[in-house]
Amino acid sequence: MKKENIYILGIESSCDDTSAAVLCNDEILSNVVADQKIHTEYGGVVPELASRAHQQNIVPVVNQAIERAGISKDQLSAIAFTRGPGLMGSLLVGTSFAKSLAFGLDIPLIDVNHMQAHILAHFIEEEDHQKPPFPFLAMTISGGHTQIVKVTSYFEMEVLGETIDDAVGEAYDKSGKILGLGYPAGPEIDRRAQLGNPKAYKFTKPKVDGLNFSFSGLKTAILYFAQRETKVNPNFVEENLNDICASIQYTIVGILMDKLKLAVKQTGIKHIAIGGGVSANSGIRKALKEAEKKHGWTTYIPKFEYTTDNAAMIAIVGYLKYLEKDFSDFDVMATARLKI
């Protein structure tokens, strides 16, 4: 007998992207993301503006996701939404919307932890993407997160280390701001880094015990370095931008790789799954490929649209929880500081 298809609508609104996706079992039928350009002029996400933009976007984004999936909303089996962590105002928009729609359609509601979703995005069925075997190490690197997690099964996860201050993407964006680059600066630093000399300037790596990270010292070091050098040559930054970017990237990739190597040493696990917007970075990708050859690691990076904030990753967690009948009560609350 053919098994009945399960259709999950996923909703993501934890930061500055309003996203909705529809999935049939573990395959994505649609994944719509409305990013919010409004924050560019402020050089970072403004929470109040983000929640207002979510309110404007959520209805058209959900409608589009259902339309593109080619199903009707009456076919939906359940609705999954991001409960946290994230910006409270932003989370509330997705949470309230998901509750109302699930209530109206009389279908189960499933709350999802955003950090677990970044990791479980690896289990979306995709041609050319191999799913990591358990146990594996997951490193989530983005504008909001920097975490190394030991993943024993879909829902057994242990955070081994995380940032104690800025996230790695934030380090890119704040360094870029000092150098006069636009927001977000990560992609531009990455592009220039590939044209420059990574050993032109030396920035010291932070000393943080264990598997935790720190990136705020690097930003300060870059600020002082730029101030010092421009006193001598006012055009220093413009004249040496590619080398500066390459040196920053070299330092950041070094920090990430040092911690990953330590995590592999401590756990003996050599399957490494990467997620978050910074996984697009050419430096980290190259370093991971080298580690495959040098240390026998196997590394996994999902399709780009599933690494940045998106609802497909929320929907896949929804599907996995649906199979377990792990549903939420309707009084479930958005939680800004939700732990894995």
53's tokens: 């933009």
Q: Does 140 bind ligand KG4 (CB under 6 A)?
A: no
Q: Find the binder of ligand KG4 among 8, 9, 11, 15 (CB under 6 A).
A: 15
Show the CA angle centred on residue 114, arms to residues 109 and 118, nearest 5°: 120
In the complex, the smallest distance separating the C-beta of residue 59 from Zn ion, rounded to whole angstroms, is: 23
In the complex, the smallest distance separating the C-beta of residue 83 from ligand KG4, rounded to whole angstroms, is: 16
Longest distance between any two alpha carbons in the chain, whole Å: 77
**From ligand KG4, Zn ion, none, which one binds at residue 173 (CB under 5 to 8 Å depending on kind)?**
ligand KG4
Q: Does 276 bind ligand KG4 (CB under 6 A)?
A: yes
At residue 292, what is the residue type? Answer: E
Site string for Zn ion, 262-301 (x = CB under 5 A): ----------------------------------------
Whether the Cβ atoms of residue 314 and residue 12 lie closer than 8 Å to each other: yes
- Report the residue number, 304 or 330, with the smaller CB distance to ligand KG4: 304
**From ligand KG4, Zn ion, none, which one binds at residue 200 (CB under 5 to 8 Å depending on kind)?**
none
Site string for ligand KG4, 86-125 (x = CB under 6 A): ----------------------------------------
278's tokens: 């910074």
**Whole-angstrom Cα distance, residue 194 to residue 196?**
6
- What's the gap between Cα 52 and its chain centre? 22
Q: How many residues bind Zn ion (CB under 5 A)?
A: 2
Among the listed residues 332, 323, 39, the one whose alpha carbon sits nearest the alpha carbon of residue 154: 323
- Report the residue number, 45 or 211, with the smaller CB distance to ligand KG4: 45
Q: Find the binder of Zn ion among 39, 178, 309, 334 (CB under 5 A).
A: 309
Query: What region does 302 belong to: left with phi over 0, alpha with psi -120 to 50, or beta?
Result: beta
Site for Zn ion in 83-142 (CB under 5 A): 142
Give yes or no for a cis peptide into 47 (omega within 30° of 0).
Answer: no
**Whole-angstrom Cα distance, residue 273 to residue 122?**
8
Q: Find the binder of ligand KG4 among 186, 196, 198, 318 (CB under 6 A).
A: 186
